[in-house]
Structure 1
Amino acid sequence: MKFQNCTILAFAILCIIFTKVTCETEAVTDGTTTTTPEPPKKKTPVKDSKLCKKCSCVINDNTSLLDCSEKLAGDWFTSDEWKDLIDGDVVFKTIKLEHNNLTAIPALPPYGVENLYLAFNQIENVTLGAFQNLSELVNLDISHNKLTTKTLVPDVFQGPYSISDYKPLPKLRSLNLGYNDLHSLDADIFEHCPQLEELVLCSNPFQIINKNAEVAISGLAYLKTLDISYLEIDSLPETVLHGPRDLNTLLAAGNEFKRLPDGLEYAQNLVHLVLNENPIENLVGDNVFPEMTNLKYLSMTFMPKLYKIGPGAFSELQNLTELILSDNKFLNEIDELAFPKNVTGGPYLDYPPLEHFYLNNCNLTVLPKPLLVRWDKVKVLDLQYNPWTCDASNDYLINVLIGQVNKTSPVLARNVQCASPEGLKDVPVLRVANEHLVENPGGSLVWIGLLVVLLIAIPTIVAAYAIKKRGCFGRFRRSDSVANRALYNRTSFNEDFHI
């Protein structure tokens, strides 16, 4: 009996084991699993976290912003604050940590931030791979810090680690390194962010673009915007602009260029160019713009020495729509042939289709009509604060252009004033036009001629009128009649005598 019970028990156990194995086999065969899924982690309501009480959290349909500027007092987030961020129910796409006296950037934990702003701190060191866990990072701003060439090494920007090597930061497109203490760049500094489209280097004491920096910048094949303003450089290697074939915006203000930068002809896709605050004296001879068929926007303002723009200065910029030449205190001459080019080889010249033209705060006295052919196409024309001459030499400005300006932008006509002649000094040109106050030497001669004629004609007419009133004209007529009759009678007498 005992044996029988043991046999039954063993059989039952075997059945259970068989059933379990069979079920597991079927589950594997069906491609499913019988493992009970873990319940999802409960998300932390970020809006109610301590971090959002310390910082400003903006969460709506269009924005998810965490602004901790001036809130961290020199320290990064605590472990609890990082945990609230990582486990939160909202991923902040933009995080601002500016003005916090941070001195270093540690290796940041995995997070879906897209825009990270670390400007206006005291950052001197960056941990290697500091950003490699930020797989969604698009814009990184580390400007206004204390970074040096020595501390800014290529592996700072390395991406996530793979089996054989570090991958690039997959989505990084904009990098701002402006206002640091960089004298150069490591030649391989951008090897982990080859997809960069915007690079800002402004206000670093480069003084020269050396070979390493040249290699680093020219290797960015997808670069579209380059800011090299205020680098204290007086020349630009040609290959810097030759490498980035898609470059469309170049900001090179506040440098020491005495001539137009070399290599501009290689920037064939350039659309916007800013050369403000450079000590270029003139655009004449061979110091004129090369052919740049895509350039539409050019700014050359606050040039401390620019006094003349000569023939052909802009003639190779045949698609230019906006030109800003304002605040050039010594600029007193723009040649009337600065713009035209004979593109077709025919009898007509071609001009760029300017729509916005700024000439305010210069030293211009005359604006020649032939400077442009289609002045009527210029939508905004700023001529304010120039010492304009109000005589016949400025006839087109006075009688046509100022009226056009007043019609399209009345505010821009207010401070267009005469500086000479003395009688019209400080008089608005618009008033000169409306009241016909212009002094015209040719017109004066005409008036003098008319006056002389009047002085001769009036006495003559008065004298004739007086003679008529006295009857002199009647006596003359009677004497003539008597003479005629006497002649007639004599003739008759002679005829009779012959008969």
Structure 2
Amino acid sequence: MASRNRSKTLFLHILFYMASTSAEETYENSTNICQRCSCNNDAQIFELDCSNQSLTLMLANWPTQKPIKATFTGNNFTKLEKLPPTQSSVEIVLSKCNIQSLDPAVFDTAPKTKLVDLSYNLLVSEEVTSDKFRGPIKDNRPQPIGIEDLNLAYNQIHSLNKDVFEFLPNLTRLNLEGNDFRVLDAHTQLALANVPGLTSFNLANNELTDLIPDAIEKLTKLVELDLSKNDLDFVPHSLEEVGTSLQVLIVDDNPIFEMTEKTFSKLPNIVEISANNLTLLTRINASTFASNLKLTKLSLRNNTALRAIDPAAFSPQSTLKELHLDNTNLTDLLVGLLNWTSLDSLTLHGTNLTCTCDLYHIFAATPNEDPPTCADPSSPARHHIPLTSDVCEVKQIVRIRYQHISIPLAGLIVTLFVAILAAIAMAYSRYRRFVQQSRQTPFASQVMYSPLLAAYSR
């Protein structure tokens, strides 16, 4: 009996040793992790920064059971193992870690994880599945997890598995920037239909030429959409699918060449539009922003071909607070374009505007510390001079002089015109009388034969 007990004890020791060895091979020893990484345990959140520590394995345990904010940027995990177990909330950054694959249910040991940043890795579409983003099994069913913010930017994802977000009911922010999406295909559309609570969606720097309505029609709570750095030559008409909720739209760095009254007409609640670096945009047409009465910030920077904004581009009821027109090809701004006194910020750096009275009144109505310089309209070389009230005084003098001479000049012109008409009429009357007399009287050169005159002459 004693021999059997000794054998049993030895067997348990061997099992414990094997388990310990396996754990050491699978996970990083976290006993002295704060000596290797930076830890901040003073606040209510435990902050752990293990950036660029040449880690190849995930930690075996968290140093605390407080809410955790952990950063592992710049390590070399290749395959991401399950997170250390905790029932506290977790925010984890795993960018630039050469991650190619994920363990199944990689987050089920930390089901209250809120933020996951997997940007700048090597994940492909096949690795991004619902089996990787699920919670623990309970009653033979996978449980949901608490991820609210998922960053998959700059991987190699061209399509989303249709049920990838099945166990992420709290997802509100999704970043797919810099992947290989040329079109949001049917599987991706079904995937997005499973996250109706999405409020922020980043599709920047893909190769999109349009945005299919079916891809966003279920995103009825979407507030912010980033479509910058794509191949859009127009603002997608499908945005009307999210028109009642969308407040921030970013379309920078696209080959958009036109903005008309229909461009933003279905976005009545838009608050901010960023349309910078649109190098093919030459003109903003009438009523382009007329229906956007809640628009407070408009950025049109670095639109180097933009040479005109229609005077009726905005509604008279516009509530715009910020307008950025830096580095455009505009030469004039009209004082009637906006209610300039409502602006809190106006920037025109690098824009070669002509000195006009309109421009003076615009800058007088907006908060600017220093008066800008502008191109002298009387100089063919467009030399820049400070913008002062002189541009208005010159026009005032010209207008006053014109008012003084306008009545006498008009009278003189009318008199001359009447005299010319009278002279023409008189000349025409004399010409007609001359023609009539000529027809009735023989020409002086006409020779008439008379027998009496002939006899007398002999």
Aligned partner of 2:357 among 382, 395, 399: 395
> For residue 120 of structure 1, what is the aligned residue in structure 2?
96
Tell me how far apart the structure 1 counterparts of residues 166 and 326 of structure 2 sit (CA, whole Å). 45
RMSD: 2.5
Residue identity in the other structure for 2:359:
L
**Normalised by the size of structure 1, how large is the TM-score?**
0.71
CA contact (8 A) 2:357 2:389 kept: no
Tell me how far apart the structure 2 counterparts of residues 385 and 417 of structure 1 sit (CA, whole Å). 10
CA change 1:91–1:285 in 2 (3 A) is: closer
CA contact (8 A) 2:279 2:302 kept: no
Residue identity in the other structure for 2:324:
Y
Tell me how far apart the structure 1 counterparts of residues 281 and 42 of structure 2 sit (CA, whole Å). 50
CA change 1:425–1:56 in 2 (3 A) is: same
CA change 1:278–1:441 in 2 (3 A) is: farther
Residue 141 of structure 1: how far off its partner (Å): 0.6
> For residue 279 of structure 1, what is the aligned residue in structure 2?
255
Aligned partner of 1:302 among 277, 281, 289: 277
Residue identity in the other structure for 2:334:
P
CA change 1:438–1:214 in 2 (3 A) is: farther
Deviations 1:29-71 (A, max 9, x none): xxxxxxxxxxxxxxxxxxx951100000011134410111111
Aligned partner of 2:345 among 374, 380, 404: 380
Tell me how far apart the structure 2 counterparts of residues 126 and 321 of structure 1 sit (CA, whole Å). 43
Tell me how far apart the structure 1 counterparts of residues 364 and 201 of structure 2 sit (CA, whole Å). 40
**1:243-258 equivalence runs, <5 A:** 243-258=218-233
CA change 1:312–1:380 in 2 (3 A) is: same
Aligned partner of residue 312 in structure 1, secondary structure: coil
CA contact (8 A) 1:183 1:205 kept: yes
Segments of structure 2 that go 5 or more residues without pairing to the other structure are 1-29, 409-458
> For residue 226 of structure 1, what is the aligned residue in structure 2?
201
CA change 1:61–1:107 in 2 (3 A) is: closer
Using the TM superposition, name which of 303-312 and 111-120 deviates more: 111-120
- State the structure with more CA Rg: 1
CA contact (8 A) 2:279 2:304 kept: yes
Residue 440 of structure 1: how far off its partner (Å): 4.2
CA contact (8 A) 2:58 2:82 kept: no
Deviations 1:346-383 (A, max 9, x none): xxxx42200111111111011122212x2111111112
Residue 432 of structure 1: how far off its partner (Å): 3.3
CA contact (8 A) 1:108 1:134 kept: yes
Residue 392 of structure 2 corresponds to residue 417 of structure 1? no
Deviations 1:58-104 (A, max 9, x none): 11134410111111343333xxxx24x3xx45535101111002201
CA change 1:258–1:436 in 2 (3 A) is: closer
CA change 1:442–1:144 in 2 (3 A) is: same
Residue 264 of structure 1: how far off its partner (Å): 1.2
> For residue 41 of structure 2, what is the aligned residue in structure 1?
59
Tell me how far apart the structure 2 counterparts of residues 447 and 316 of structure 1 sit (CA, whole Å). 41
Residue 447 of structure 1: how far off its partner (Å): 8.5
Tell me how far apart the structure 1 counterparts of residues 387 and 246 of structure 2 sit (CA, whole Å). 42
Tell me how far apart the structure 1 counterparts of residues 378 and 305 of structure 2 sit (CA, whole Å). 21
Segments of structure 1 that go 5 or more residues without pairing to the other structure are 1-47, 341-349, 454-499
CA contact (8 A) 2:74 2:96 kept: yes
Residue 426 of structure 1: how far off its partner (Å): 3.8
CA contact (8 A) 2:45 2:66 kept: no
Residue 420 of structure 1: how far off its partner (Å): 3.8
CA contact (8 A) 2:357 2:392 kept: no
Residue 266 of structure 2 corresponds to residue 291 of structure 1? yes
Tell me how far apart the structure 2 counterparts of residues 61 and 109 of structure 1 sit (CA, whole Å). 21
Residue 289 of structure 2 corresponds to residue 324 of structure 1? no
**Normalised by the size of structure 2, how large is the TM-score?**
0.77
Aligned partner of residue 132 in structure 2, secondary structure: helix
CA contact (8 A) 2:55 2:76 kept: yes
Aligned partner of 1:103 among 75, 78, 102: 78
CA change 1:225–1:440 in 2 (3 A) is: same
Aligned partner of residue 422 in structure 1, secondary structure: coil
CA contact (8 A) 1:387 1:420 kept: no
Residue 194 of structure 2 corresponds to residue 181 of structure 1? no
Tell me how far apart the structure 1 counterparts of residues 286 and 401 of structure 2 sit (CA, whole Å). 36
Aligned partner of residue 208 in structure 1, secondary structure: coil
Residue 178 of structure 1: how far off its partner (Å): 0.4
Residue identity in the other structure for 1:417:
C
CA contact (8 A) 2:149 2:174 kept: yes
- Percent identity between the aligned chains? 24
